Amino acid sequence: MRVTPKADNLEQLLGECERNYQRLAQLAPGLAQVAAPAPARSVRGVAGMVSLRVLERGPYTTLVELSESGPVAWLPGPRMRIRVSHDARVAEVVSYQGETRFGPRYPHPYPNRGMIRRDEKLQLNRLLGEWLRLCLARGYRFQHEELVTD
Cα–Cα distance, 142 to 28 (Å, whole number): 5
The pLDDT confidence band at residue 33, using thresholds 50, 70 and 90, is confident
| Residue 7 pLDDT exceeds 50 | no
Q: What is the CA radius of gyration of the chain?
A: 16
Position 123 scores a pLDDT of 87
CA-based nearest residue to 42, from 16, 77, 68, 6: 68
Which residues make Cβ contacts (< 8 Å) with residue 61, sequence separation at least 6?
A: 83, 84, 85, 86
Give the global pTM: 0.82
| Residue 60 pLDDT exceeds 90 | yes
Position 49 scores a pLDDT of 87
Position 133 scores a pLDDT of 96
Position 117 scores a pLDDT of 63
CA-based nearest residue to 33, from 14, 15, 7, 59: 59
Position 1 scores a pLDDT of 47
Cα–Cα distance, 76 to 71 (Å, whole number): 10
| Strands lying side by side in the sheet with 61-69 | 41-45, 48-57, 61-69, 76-85, 90-96
Handedness of CA 147, 34, 137, 135 (dihedral sign): negative
Among 26-30, 36-40, 70-74, 115-119, the minimum mean pLDDT is found in: 115-119
Position 4 scores a pLDDT of 53
| Residue 137 pLDDT exceeds 50 | yes
Cα–Cα distance, 34 to 84 (Å, whole number): 12
